[in-house]
Amino acid sequence: MNTLWSIMSYGICVASLCLKVSAVTDTINTSQFLRDGETIVSSEGSFELGFFSPGRSRNRYLGIWYKNIPVPTVVWVANRENPVTDLSGILSINNSGAIVISNRTSHVIWSANSVQKAQNPLLQILESGNLVLRNRNGNSDIYLWQSFDNPSDTLLPGMKLGWDLRTNLNRQLTSWKSPDDPSPGELSNGIKLSEYPEPVIWKGTTEYFRGGPWNGLRITGAPEQKINPVFSFKFISNQDEVYYMYQLLKKSVITRIVLNETSSSRDRYVWVESENSWRLYGSLPRDYCDNYGLCGANGICVMTGSPVCQCLRGFKPKSAQRWNSMDWSNGCIRNEPLDCTRKHDFVKFSGLKLPDTTHTWLNRNMNMKECREACLKNCSCMAYTNSDIRGRGSGCALWFGDLIDIRQFSDGGQDLYIRMPSSQQSICLSFWSRIC
Ligand SMILES: *[C@@H]1O[C@H](CO)[C@@H](O)[C@H](O)[C@H]1NC(C)=O
Ligand SMILES: *[C@@H]1O[C@H](CO)[C@@H](O)[C@H](O)[C@H]1NC(C)=O
Ligand SMILES: *[C@@H]1O[C@H](CO)[C@@H](O)[C@H](O)[C@H]1NC(C)=O
Ligand SMILES: *[C@@H]1O[C@H](CO)[C@@H](O)[C@H](O)[C@H]1NC(C)=O
Ligand SMILES: *[C@@H]1O[C@H](CO)[C@@H](O)[C@H](O)[C@H]1NC(C)=O
């Protein structure tokens, strides 16, 4: 790795017309090129852009890595699927706002285009690790293109994970195929849109881990996500945008989230100066119960249970035989089918990861009483809860059809009110209680 990494320090200038990019700059303009071996560095020296070879590969990729730490850590790759096979790669931008990587024979290896009309554009590597294209004159916060809108496998502080609904832009992370190959692997992470959107990790096209919807404080599937001194996080969901983002509280901290193909996980690392290494801070999925839909429809996963899968109270295995052989995929059905002509009530379940939100309805202004009534009015409504648990709680989320991917947390879970025939109504607060 080290020898290949050091290849970057060679500067090869083939064309005689070239203006060399000076080492101290953070920008490239339309009359400059960035050759393999040259780099640009963000203003305070946090990030560097240049060509590199990953792992044992000899292929060359344009990427961004930390400049201020000694462990080579690439956070973004431009030409993930189209490497330059020798050291002839050249990065340039042109007057119409195209960013182009070409090789010795001037073949375009990779390009990205400005969405708006460019006027004397500049390509700049920012302190945040964002590579941006902007007009030289004009608002420096308006970007014609930015690498943050085209993530690789890493989510840096300030990056949006999710959707700009106005332009239909969907920002997702995708893992590298291997440490030697940055082309997109199996694992991806983004926001699943619905009335009540939530972050999801996919393996191929299959949902693999579900974060749960945002409850005003955190993602409901991550109760350990607490206020901490290192970073803050937020989830924005309105008619224009739906995204997750975290931000640093202390500028000196270096942290990143990365998807790992090998371990099939989404890992947060924090740089530990005294150890000169990355420390794993948290990893998703955490445990067996984090496997999406493990217990099937209307099942609930309890890590301390034996077996981990149980049917929600008021439900029984759809196939007792399969259930008893620990194949829970068929899930659970009601002990007594819901008869819409009869009276119904709700049973409160506590400490949960809220079910899959694909079939939900949301109203941010309703209170609990109105929410309950709204659910009662529609016989296919199975459950409701506050969409925002801050203070005394507000908003209304309704679930329709089967309840999928519920788990029990020992701490920090949420309440969910599940519809039951009136006869089964009870004062149970938790599903496993023997008193019920
Ligand atoms: C690009 O930057 C170089 C070095 O600062 C400068 O000499 C050149 O005039 C610039 N070109 C344009 C088109 O701005
Ligand atoms: C800039 O590059 C893009 C992509 O290669 C090309 O389509 C476009 O015509 C170029 N514009 C100019 C002004 O050279
Ligand atoms: C440049 O790229 C083209 C297209 O990928 C390829 O056919 C050609 O062999 C490359 N040239 C060199 C010198 O690598
Ligand atoms: C993935 O995890 C393995 C260990 O499980 C580690 O060696 C490797 O560096 C990780 N890759 C990334 C991209 O973090
Ligand atoms: C019940 O809710 C579902 C899902 O939102 C909807 O498709 C259906 O029309 C509703 N039924 C009634 C009677 O309102």
Q: Could you count the other beta carbons within 10 Å of the beta carbon of residue 17?
A: 7
pLDDT at 9: 35
pLDDT at 254: 96
Cα gap 57→55, rounded to integer Å: 6
Ligand nearest to the CA of 265: 4
Q: How many Å from the N-terminal Cα to the C-terminal Cα in the chain?
A: 62
Instruction: Give me the phi and psi of 172, to 5 degrees please.
Output: -130, 150
CB-CB contact of 208 with 201 (8 Å): yes
Nearest CA to ligand 5 atom 4: 400
Domain ranges of the chain: 1-150, 151-286, 289-434
Partners of 278 in beta bridges: 271
69 lines ligand 2 (CB under 6 A): no
What letters, b where the CB count within 10 A reaches 16 and e where it falls short, cover 25-38? ebbbbbebbbbbbb
Ligand nearest to the CA of 179: 4
Ligand nearest to the CA of 81: 3
Instruction: Give me the phi and psi of 379, to 5 degrees please.
Output: -65, -20
pLDDT at 360: 97
The DSSP H or E segment spanning 170 is strand 169-171
What is the CATH class of 151-286? Answer: mainly beta
Ligand 2 centroid – CA 94 distance (Å): 6
Ligand 5 centroid – CA 34 distance (Å): 58
Nearest CA to ligand 5 atom 11: 378
CA angle 280, 160, 136 (to 5 degrees): 120
Ligand 4 centroid – CA 262 distance (Å): 7
Cα gap 86→71, rounded to integer Å: 24
Ligand 3 centroid – CA 79 distance (Å): 14
Ligand 3 centroid – CA 15 distance (Å): 17
Longest dimension (CA), the chain: 87
Q: Which of 363, 378, 382 is the pocket-test mutation for ligand 5 (most atoms within 8 Å of CB)?
A: 378
The DSSP H or E segment spanning 122 is strand 121-125
Nearest CA to ligand 5 atom 8: 378
Chunked mean pLDDT (size 10), the chain, 436 residues? 36 38 81 96 97 97 97 98 97 96 95 90 97 89 94 98 97 98 98 97 97 93 82 94 95 95 96 96 94 97 94 96 95 92 93 97 96 96 96 96 96 93 56 43
Ligand 5 centroid – CA 372 distance (Å): 15
Ligand 1 centroid – CA 139 distance (Å): 19
95 lines ligand 5 (CB under 6 A): no
Cα gap 344→323, rounded to integer Å: 28
pLDDT at 7: 35
In this prediction the pTM is 0.90
- CATH fold match for the domains 1-150 and 151-286: yes
Which single residue is written with the structure tokens 């949902």?
207
358 lines ligand 5 (CB under 6 A): no
Q: What phi-psi label fits residue 384: left (phi over 0), alpha (psi between -120 and 50 degrees) or beta?
A: beta
Sign of CA pseudo-dihedral 122, 123, 124, 130: positive
Ligand 1 atom, smallest distance to 30 CA: 13
Instruction: Report the CATH superfamily, name and number, of domain 1-150.
Output: Bulb-type lectin domain (2.90.10.10)
